[in-house]
Amino acid sequence: MNIQPNCWNEYGQLKSVIVCSPSILDVPDQQTATDVQWEKAVRQKKARENHQIMIEAMEEEGVNVIDYSVHLTREELLLNEKLINRIFVRDLACVFGQTILPGAAGTSMRRPEYFQSHTLFQQWFDNKTFRLEVNNDLKALEYGDVMILNKDAILINAGIRTSIESVEALQGDLFKAGFSEIGVIDLPRRPDTMHLDMNCNVVGGKLFIGKSYMNYLPIQVITAKGFTYEMLEVFLKRHGFQTEWTSAIKHTVADINFLNLNPETLLISTKANKSIFKNHSILKKKKLIEIEVDELEKGGGGIRCMTLPLERE
- Distance, CA of 295 to CA of 39 (rounded, Å): 11
> In which residue ranges of the chain is pLDDT below 50?
none
The residue ranges of DSSP E strands in 142-258, in sequence order, are 146-148, 153-157, 181-185, 200-203, 207-211, 218-223, 226-231, 242-246
pLDDT for residue 278: 83
The answer to whether 89 touches 18, Cβ cutoff 8 Å, is yes
pLDDT for residue 248: 53
- Distance, CA of 22 to CA of 100 (rounded, Å): 24
- Domains, the chain, ordered by start: 14-312 (3.75.10.10)
pLDDT for residue 15: 98
pLDDT for residue 156: 98
- Distance, CA of 194 to CA of 127 (rounded, Å): 31
pLDDT tens figures, 247-279: 655 667 889 999 999 999 999 999 998 888 888
pLDDT for residue 205: 87
Q: What is the DSSP string of 39-97?
A: SS-B-HHHHHHHHHHHHHHHHHTT-EEEEGGGGS-HHHHHHHTT-TTTT-GGGTEEEEB
- Distance, CA of 12 to CA of 205 (rounded, Å): 9
CA 9 to chain centre: 12
Indicate the residue type of 217: L
- Distance, CA of 197 to CA of 143 (rounded, Å): 9
- Distance, CA of 223 to CA of 238 (rounded, Å): 15
pLDDT for residue 276: 80
- Distance, CA of 189 to CA of 193 (rounded, Å): 6
pLDDT for residue 292: 97
pLDDT tens figures, 128-139: 999 999 999 999
